[in-house]
Amino acid sequence: MKIPKFKNKKILGQVFMHRSFLNETSEDVASNERLEFLGDSVLSLVVSGYIFNQHKNLSEGQLTNIRSVLTNTETLYEIGRSLNLGDKLMLSKGEEQSGGRINKTILANTYEAVIGGLYLDQGLAAVAKFIETTLLSQADELIKTQGLKDPKSKLQEKLQEANRNSPVYKVLTEKGPDHNKLYTVGVYMEEKLLAEGTGPSKQDAEKAAARSALAVLLID
């Protein structure tokens, strides 16, 4: 897989401009964060339309779960990695040395920036084709691999079935610069620590903690 050719090379350059690089250049350039913001919305629109048409009998909640699987950090990271987006990034020396080219959050965000840039460069039809080729063609396998049920929802359901209170998530540590944070979250039941999880965002860390708790409790 590869990204389409861009008509506007300036937009293409911005797609791969990580904000860390701005500290090491005197050029008047912008990072890819605004394109990432736009791409996130376009991705959600295209994926929502696809699953709405593909799964006509599913409820809103079920559609939301599928969209979450197809647009989460882990999924977008894998797509970004398969496209070798890390090789094209403009990074600071520090970010480079710390593994920025293989960083899950950075690669996931860059995939969204590609979508945002392609939308500006060639419009929605071209973006939809790109997303269908790189992501939606694998939709069934991704859903099968990750499952439809969010681990946090599954853990809450299972604990409440056992007549217990809902789990509580607490941030235990957060490390790294703002653009490359790593969070560790603990999930508790009545002040008892069930498990911990780490991730590039609080949400990802909470999901990892819930996943670990389900494994500890031997819940499939």
pLDDT tens, residue by residue, 45-73: 999 999 999 999 988 878 888 898 899 88
**Residues 6 or more apart in contact with residue 187 via CB below 8 angstroms:** 155, 167, 168, 169, 193, 194, 195, 196, 197, 206, 209, 210, 212, 213
- Of 36, 95, 112, 206, catalytic: 112
Q: Respond yes or no: is residue 40 known to be catalytic.
A: yes
- Of 40, 95, 121, 150, catalytic: 40
What pLDDT is attached to residue 156? 84
The CATH class that applies to domain 151-216 reads alpha beta
Annotated domain spans of the chain? 9-146, 151-216
Q: Respond yes or no: is residue 112 known to be catalytic.
A: yes
pLDDT digits (tens, 9 = 90+) for 88-101: 999 999 888 889 89
- Quick one: 9-146 is in which CATH superfamily? Ribonuclease III domain (1.10.1520.10)
pLDDT digits (tens, 9 = 90+) for 152-204: 888 888 888 776 688 999 999 999 877 778 999 999 998 899 999 998 888 88
